[in-house]
Amino acid sequence: MSVLTLLVRIHHVRFRVKSVDAVTLRRSLGRILRELERGGEPILVERRRQAAAVLISLRDYRERFVDREADTQRRDLVARMKALRFVTRRGRTTLDLLRSIRSGRT
């Protein structure tokens, strides 16, 4: 028995995760997907009594993977923008230049 299978079995017993074998999943995919959409709880897929995969809702997928990736990309972009801060020859930034233009000084 692999470590992953052991951990999944412990989690399954402790938190009562719904599980389904691969054959049942194949025969009843529509029903199982509806249960997943309604309940939102992950469903453990087993093949030959071994943990093979976990089905999660689209909402959980977005929260755990897509939104997290977007946040990481956003932080990286802001960091790159801050690193591109332009400084003129006199040591003034572009913001200083805009302020001086607005006030009528150059």
Cα distance between residue 67 and residue 59, in whole Å: 10
pTM of the predicted model as reported, rounded to 2 decimal places? 0.52
CATH 3.40.1620.10 fits 3-56, yes or no: yes
- Tens-digit pLDDT profile for residues 48-106: 988 899 999 988 888 888 788 888 888 888 888 877 766 566 777 778 878 888 888 65
State the alpha helices, DSSP H only, in the chain. 3-15, 22-27, 29-39, 58-61, 67-83, 94-103
Burial (CB count <10 Å: 0-12, 13-18, 19+), residue 11: middle
